[in-house]
A and B are shown apart, each in its own frame.
Chain A
Amino acid sequence: MNCKEINKNLIGFIENTIPAHVKTEMEKHFSECESCKMLYNNIFATYTIFDGQPQTEVNPYFYARLEQKIKLKEQIKIESSTNKLIWKLQPIAASFLIVISVCAGILIGNSFSGTNLVNKNPNRTELLEAYANDYYLTDTNDDNITALINNE
């Protein structure tokens, strides 16, 4: 067997899955060919690197951590559905607030309107007289007062 044929069967040789006569030939070749022997040694050392190593143990707190993860997941699920509900209600709540604000504004505006105040005041003339006196109108002529009322 030449080197090329030998190298095709290296893993088979390592795992002992090749026919006995092939194995014998390969062993003979390794005793004669230093480069094939070196290649075999390297491939053997690498291919079996994880064999026989201590198995990695599962973390003793595996179940406790798993339980925590499940609880956290459920909590996130509940918060997420609450957030979704709030998100859906937000436009409705905002519209409601706008309507309330507009209505309140109209009501407030109407209740503080000047026309309403004066019209509701029975002593309209007296008010205007007092206003005129405040601004030192000496002419207490009724015509002027009437003009003031009319110009209002």
Chain B
Amino acid sequence: MTDEDLILGLNAKDNVAFRELVEKYQSMVYKACFNLIRQPEDAEDIAQDVFIEVFESISQFRFQSKLSTWLYRIAINKSLNHIRKSKGKTMINSINFFANNKNNELEIEDKSANNSPYSIDYNERGKVLQEAINSLSENQRIAFTLNKFDELSYQEITEIMNLSLSSVESLIHRAKINLQKKLEAYYKN
């Protein structure tokens, strides 16, 4: 089904269309939520809330942007709301998630390697990076995360954030400068 067919189906409250929409976009939505909040269980909850909102408010979709762009916007808004509500919580749980991941490829690696998910060094570095990202302004954080972790182009990010290309470039550039300063300060101290 094309996106237009999916939307028509959703407007008609067709469960088959809804299921197909979820299966088509669940990875994308989950990844967007996870990359912002770095907590797997919360990311799954938020991703589900995104689809519930789509189901309830599909009639408001006006085809002014792509369906994926709309989904990204909802995912980002809900993730940011979650972050605002839970400000102050550490991201240690998400780092431990990686450390405890039972992926076979990782188990083969030398566990004493600095970048092994099982090393303390890995946990520490992940925490340092995540805290540095958390310290960015919201727009810088969104633009940087979408570019670095969701691997979206600047053009795609302009559509999601409803900003000009130069604004997105500036946001990402400043985000990297700020991240560098944070990391530099951490390692020099």
Contact = CB atoms under 8 A, between A and B. Distances in A.
Interface of A: 7-8, 10-12, 39, 42-43, 45-47, 49-50, 53-56, 58-59, 62-63, 65-66, 69-70, 73
A73 B52 contact: yes
A49 B126 contact: yes
A28 to B, nearest CB: 20
Interface string B26-68: 1100110010000010011001100110010000000000000
B79 to A, nearest CB: 15
A50 to B, nearest CB: 7
Contacts of A56: 30-31, 34, 40, 43, 97
Contact of B125 (A11, A45, A59): A45
A63 B22 contact: yes
Given A45-B115, A45-B125, A54-B103, A62 B44 contact: yes
Contacts of A53: 98, 117
Contact of A70 (B31, B55, B101): B55
Given A43-B183, A56-B40, A58-B27, 15 more contacts: A8-B180, A10-B184, A42-B183, A42-B187, A43-B184, A46-B128, A47-B129, A47-B183, A49-B126, A50-B126, A54-B101, A54-B103, A55-B31, A66-B22, A66-B48
B108 to A, nearest CB: 13
Contacts of A45: 114-115, 125
A133 B179 CA distance: 112
Nearest to A9: B180
Contacts of B48: 62, 65-66, 69
A66 B122 CA distance: 33
- The DSSP consensus for interface residues of chain B is helix
A62 B27 CA distance: 10
A58 B34 CA distance: 10
A42 B182 CA distance: 12
A58 B26 contact: yes
A59 B44 contact: yes
B89 interface: no
Nearest to A43: B183
Nearest to A59: B44
